[in-house]
Amino acid sequence: MINLEFYTYKTFTENPNALTFESSGKIYDEITGLVEVADQDTKKLWQDFIKCSVIYSSTRSQWLLLSSEERAAVDRKRTRQHDEVIKALTKVAHRFEKQDLPTDWYNEISINPVQARKRFGDFACYVSYVYSVNAR
């Protein structure tokens, strides 16, 4: 049975640990500005993160539409995709550190250790959103 509950952005932001569009936008702007001055290896790592984000967000966006059985069937794949998002963004942060570029944005995403995983996913979905609306 399909979940017919209606969700809004407001519903999402009512979670005190959610990484909002506003926060995600600031982080995204900071990262993209830094990637512009970074080396080619960093640019490649950022592109890898974007690809991981698009793949993960596709699965995550379907989650609330799936039955319990369907969720169980794709849960490992979704978890693996989420792990790839975190790993890819962590590589970007480490590369920034090697170039003495700021990584405060990384701390902003992972500020709450209990919710960090979800916030990485929130940021990946935001990045995917930016790419989706620009592909029109």
Phi and psi angles of residue 102, each rounded to the nearest 5 degrees, phi first: -65, 145
Tell me what pLDDT residue 4 has: 60
Do 119 and 42 touch, CB atoms closer than 8 A? no
Question: Could you give the CA distance from residue 32 to residue 15 in angstroms, rounded to a whole number?
Answer: 27
What average pLDDT score do residues 26-39 get?
97
Give the amino acid at 122: D
This prediction's pTM: 0.93
Angle at which helices 116-134 and 40-62 cross, to 10°: 100
Confidence of residue 5 (pLDDT cuts 50, 70, 90): confident
Tens of pLDDT, residue by residue over 45-62, are 999 999 999 999 999 999
- Give residue-wise pLDDT tens across range 70-121: 999 999 999 999 999 999 999 999 999 999 999 999 999 998 888 999 999 9
